[in-house]
Structure 1
Amino acid sequence: MAEPGRGKDPVSVLAGPYGHPLHPILVTVPIGAWVTSLVFDLASQAVKEPRFLAEGSLWLIAIGVLGALVAAMFGFLDLLAIKQGTPAFRTGLVHMSLNLAVTAAYAAAWAWRLAGDHLHAVGVGQIALSVISLAALSAAGFLGGKLAFLYGVRVADEATQARGFTVTHNE
């Protein structure tokens, strides 16, 4: 017999309260930072003085890596709530692995840029690494959506959700 309720409850108060996990809101930091860094990278190709964009991208990547590490801690707590051997757990492992690989790629990109020249436009190889990393991040995000919206990981049970769709009359 399946235990979907187990994946809905937090393993620790640190993961966020029932029905309000912290991991989904925390992932917005690295996603936003890394997408914006790519925008800065591309913009650095179009301006006469690209230094501020190249440096901005460098620090956005760093913010994204730090944010991803924080989000990963909370995501790991959510993974621990899922019963091992289930499709949801396997999906969570792939989701986590992809995200850790993306974070490692961005950490390497940060080191590569830090060692390089910040006066010129961001290099084509560095932009390619960002594009590939964002594509992998999108795949990981798709799996995160599958965990939440298909498998209901850390989502409130159906009885709790039904209260939001019950018509009440204030007379």
Structure 2
Amino acid sequence: MADEAQFQAKRPVSAWLAGPYGHPFHPILVTVPIGAWVTSLVFDIASHVVSRPGFLTQPSEWLIAVGVIGALLAATVGFLDLFAIPGRTPAFRTALVHMTLNLLVTAAYAVNFLWRYSDYTDGGSVGAGRLVLSALSVAVLGVSGFLGGKLAYRYGVRVADENTQAEGYTPGGSRRNARPAA
């Protein structure tokens, strides 16, 4: 049963939408919101250090928007990967927590964007509440990222099986040239 479940979690529900076997799109797409939101937080912090913070606060606001859009795209593909994981397994439960945290972070950043957009500070530094919301969101995103890493590196979700991986360690890159284990 466990072998079937592992095999199922490695295969895409839709290769065209979620990425082909061994090449999932979700890990590629998550780099957009992570990069945008972390950079936004850096800009928010820096806005309290420089004398004219407007050149940091406005790009920070738009980086938040880019992150929300990127997160929604990554979530769409992530849902497809979730559907490949058999229910009632530790991997599935971990994936549900990972998904829930990511949706909460995305919602928090959507609120943060609307908060900033409706009350732009005309070149002042980012307010303390917005800064705290960004910092907490990045912290929760880090926890969720840890769980995403657990899904891939511990449970092997959407990762090629060991026989396929072995091709990268055999002379000539083919299993045909591989020697049997001693």
Which TM class, normalised by the smaller chain length?
Answer: over 0.9
Q: Distance in 1 between matches of 2:168 and 2:7?
A: 19
Where structure 1 has 5 or more consecutive residues not aligned to the other structure, the ranges are none
The one-character-per-residue Cα deviations of 1:140-171 (angstroms, maximum 9, x if unpaired) are: 000000000000000001100011111349xx
| Residue in structure 1 matched with residue 41 of structure 2 by the alignment | 38
Q: What's the TM-score, normalizing by structure 2? A: 0.90
Amino acid at match of 1:22: F
Q: Aligned runs of 1:133-152 on 2, under 5 Å?
A: 133-152=137-156
Do 1:51 and 1:121's aligned partners in 2 also have CA atoms closer than 8 Å?
A: yes
- Alignment partners' CA distance in 2, 1:118 and 1:39: 19
4+ aligned runs moved over 2 Å, structure 1: none
- Report the equivalent of 1:84: 87
2:11 to 9, 12, 32: 9
- In structure 2, runs of 5+ residues without a counterpart are 174-182
Deviation at 1:46, TM superposition (A): 1.3
Q: Which residue of 1 aligns with 2:70?
A: 67
CA offsets per residue over residues 14-42 of structure 1, 9 Å max, x none? 10000000000100000000000011111
1:86 aligned partner, one-letter code: T
Please say if residues 54 and 118 of structure 1, whose CA atoms lie closer than 8 Å, have aligned partners that are also in contact. Answer: no
TM-score of the pair, normalised by structure 1: 0.96
Counterpart selection for 2:100 from 85, 97, 100? 97
Partner Cα separation in structure 1 for residue 122 and residue 60 of structure 2:
10
Amino acid at match of 1:64: G
Percent identity of the aligned residues? 64
- CA deviations 1:36-72 (Å, max 9, x no partner) are 0011111111112111211010000000000000000
Matched, 1:153 2:139: no
Q: Aligned to 1:111, what secondary structure does the other structure show?
A: helix
One-letter amino acid matched to 1:41: D
The two structures, once aligned, show a CA RMSD in angstroms of: 1.1
Q: What is the alpha-carbon distance in structure 2 between the residues aligned to residue 88 and residue 108 of structure 1?
A: 30
Farther-moved stretch of structure 1 (97-106 vs 111-120): 111-120
Match of 1:58 in 2: 61
Partner of 2:124: 120
